[in-house]
C-alpha cells in the first residue's frame, strides 16, 4: 500500500472508531466509568501508586471522574500538559476544583501548575485511546504526543505502567503499528482488564 493509501486507511479507521464511541449513550458511559474504576482499583500497582496520570475526557473518551474520587488520599492525580519545545507531555498534579485552561487542542490543562512531572517520574499512566488490540497496540488520535513522551518504554520495563482506557467496542482485530508506537501494558474497559504481552 502506498503512503497515501496508508494515511487514508488510518483516517478511515479513526473515523469509524470515533463514530462507534460517539454512539455510546450517556447512561452507558457512566456505568462504564464505574466498572473501569472498580477494575483499576483492584490493581495493587494503582492502589499503591504515588503518582497516577490520567486525562481530561473529551470527544466521547471514557471519563475518569469516578476513579479520581476513589484514589488513596496520598496519591497524586496528574493531568497532561503539552510541552511545546519537544512536543512531549509533562504532568501536573490536579484536584477537582483546581483551575484549568484550554490548550491548543481545546483540552483543559491545570492552570498555574507549580510542579511538572516528567513521564518517567510516574507510577501509572492511564491513556485515552480510539482503538486497541488485545496484544496492546494503541490507536490514538494521530498526534503522537504519548508515543514521543513514553518512547523510553519501548526499551525498558515499567514504571510507569501504561494502561489504555476505553470502551470494549473500541477493540480491533489488528493494527499495523508503526516503529514509534509504544505498546500498552494493559487495557481496561467496562468488560475486562486485559494484560497485554510485551
Count Cβ atoms within 10 A of the Cβ of residue 168 and give its class: 0-12 exposed, 13-18 middle, 19 or more buried.
middle
Question: In total, how many domains does the chain have?
Answer: 1
146-167 core/surface letters (b: 16 or more CB in 10 A; e: else): bbbbbeebeeeebbbbbbbbbb
pLDDT given at position 174: 84
Q: With a cut of 60, say whether residue 8 has pLDDT above it.
A: no
Structural domain boundaries enclosing 10? 3-195
pTM across the whole model: 0.93
Where residue 180 sits, what CATH number does that domain have?
3.40.50.10420
Q: Give the tens place of pLDDT for each residue, 11-65.
A: 889 999 999 999 999 999 999 999 999 999 999 999 999 999 999 999 999 999 9
| Dist CA 132 CA 29 (whole Å) | 18
CA contacts within 13 A on the Cβ side of 50: 7
pLDDT band at 6; cut points 50, 70, 90: low
Backbone conformation region of residue 190, classed left if phi is above 0, alpha if psi is from -120 to 50, else beta: alpha
pLDDT at 131 over 60: yes
- How many Å apart are CA 15 and CA 190, to the nearest integer? 22
Of all residues in the chain, what percent carry a pLDDT higher than 70?
A: 95
Amino acid at each position: 500500500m502506498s503512503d497515501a493509501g496508508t494515511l487514508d486507511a488510518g483516517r478511515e479507521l479513526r473515523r469509524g472508531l470515533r463514530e462507534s464511541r460517539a454512539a455510546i449513550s450517556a447512561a452507558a458511559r457512566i456505568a462504564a466509568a464505574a466498572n473501569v474504576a472498580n477494575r483499576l482499583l483492584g490493581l495493587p500497582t494503582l492502589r499503591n501508586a504515588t503518582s497516577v496520570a490520567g486525562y481530561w475526557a473529551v470527544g466521547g473518551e471514557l471519563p475518569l471522574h469516578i476513579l479520581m474520587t476513589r484514589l488513596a488520599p496520598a496519591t497524586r492525580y496528574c493531568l497532561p500538559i503539552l510541552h511545546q519545545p519537544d512536543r512531549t507531555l509533562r504532568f501536573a498534579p490536579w484536584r477537582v476544583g483546581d483551575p484549568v485552561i484550554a490548550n491548543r487542542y481545546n483540552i483543559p490543562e491545570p492552570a498555574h501548575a507549580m510542579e511538572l512531572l516528567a513521564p518517567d517520574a510516574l507510577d501509572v499512566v492511564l491513556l485515552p485511546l480510539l482503538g486497541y488490540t488485545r496484544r496492546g497496540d494503541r490507536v490514538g488520535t494521530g498526534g503522537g504526543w504519548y508515543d514521543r513522551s513514553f518512547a523510553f518504554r519501548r526499551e525498558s520495563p515499567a514504571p510507569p505502567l501504561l494502561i489504555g482506557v476505553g470502551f470494549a467496542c473500541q477493540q480491533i482485530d489488528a493494527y499495523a503499528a508503526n516503529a514509534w508506537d509504544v505498546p500498552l501494558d494493559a487495557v481496561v474497559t467496562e468488560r475486562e482488564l486485559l494484560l497485554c504481552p510485551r
